[in-house]
Amino acid sequence: MKKVTELKCGAIIVSCAFDHRVADGYSLDMFLVAWAEFAQFKRISNTPSFRRSILNPRRPPHYNAIFDNMYLPLSSLPPPPSCEDQLHSRIYYIQQESLNRLQSEASSKETRISKFQSLTAFIWKLFAHEADNDVNQTSRMGVVVGGRRFMTGNSEKESSMLENHFGNILSIPYGEMNYSCLQTMSLNEVANEVHSFVTEATTEEHFRGLVDWVELHRPEPAVAKIYFKLQETDGDAIVASSGQGLPINDMNFGWGKPEFGSYHFPWGGQTGYIITMPSASKNGDWVVYMHLKQKHLDLIEKNTPYVSNPLTHYYLRL
């Protein structure tokens, strides 16, 4: 589904909806750039590959038992809770100076933590101080990891098809700690935890194993465990995703380069969702879309104004 809307002020909004069961954000980016190029009668610069066999399972399929802790068949889900807090969407921006400061605080001499993992750790630790938390409950933080850059083909052609594969090559590793631990740990310690569970998923074997896990559980659909509360000790959970690859400045449909671009993910579950994107201004700032409970949005806005600057038309210079 796609939509083009012209506002009274003269601004034009281009939007596109897609289903994560069909494609991931990388695939969506390829589509949007191709759409913009087609609109200007240009040659498509990055031809997508629809060859599904590139992700065929191994024979025989085999996987690490870690996937049994990350995913589960739909039939294993408990009944949905009768009453849960509604999630709300907000868009903020974070200035480059604040990102640099977070990265400095999260890193050590031994390990330099990325800006994205630093922000993820910061939010995980911040939410542990929410007043209603039961310190004995477990907080879970997941990170979306794209698999294309970790997978190789048997030939240059196969490697190219993997890189341009139109589909879904994602994994969602996550960490869990009780609130009391998160409250006492330093930002650097929390960042090391994030870095550790993300690194475990950044190998070809991880993604080949995930393909095999899905194959061995077919035809039943499966879901990531972090999207659901499965035990009484499960507290709030959040999934963070990096959309820094969003090619905003390549999405010129003939009306000039965009002033703003963002993903939007109101998926209807009870797990919070955060995704970061580059600012179209190219000044090093980030745009951050958050889909969270109201108490978490309040916590961010009241305690970290330098991280939660509301995105306004003044910032976008519209």
For 115-125, how does the pLDDT look when each residue is reduced to its tens digit (9 = 90+)?
A: 999 999 999 99
Closest CA to 182 of 136, 116, 226, 218: 136
- Could you list the beta-strand ranges (E) of the chain: 2-6, 12-16, 71-73, 87-94, 138-143, 145-146, 170-171, 174-178, 222-224, 234-242, 272-278, 286-293, 309-310
Residue 185's φ and ψ, nearest 5 degrees, are -80, 150
**What's the pLDDT at 312?**
85
d(CA 234, CA 99): 30
d(CA 55, CA 152): 11
Decide if pLDDT at 264 tops 70. yes
At 7, the pLDDT band (50, 70, 90 cuts) reads very low
Mean of pLDDT values over 130-152:
88
**What's the pLDDT at 3?**
41
What are the structure tokens assigned to 51, written together?
């060859």
At 202, the pLDDT band (50, 70, 90 cuts) reads very high
Q: Which of 64, 188, 252, 309 is catalytic?
A: 252
**What's the pLDDT at 18?**
85
Which residue did the predictor score with more confidence, 281 or 289? 289
d(CA 88, CA 292): 5
| Minimum mean pLDDT range among 74-83, 160-169, 197-206, 226-235 | 74-83
At 9, the pLDDT band (50, 70, 90 cuts) reads low
Domains with residue ranges and CATH for the chain: 50-310 (3.30.559.10)
**What's the pLDDT at 1?**
36
193 touches 177 (CB < 8 A)? yes
Q: Which of 20, 62, 88, 264 is catalytic?
A: 20
Q: Is 264 a catalytic residue?
A: no
Q: Is 129 a catalytic residue?
A: no
| Tens-place pLDDT, residues 57-102 | 999 999 999 999 999 998 888 777 666 678 999 999 999 999 999 9
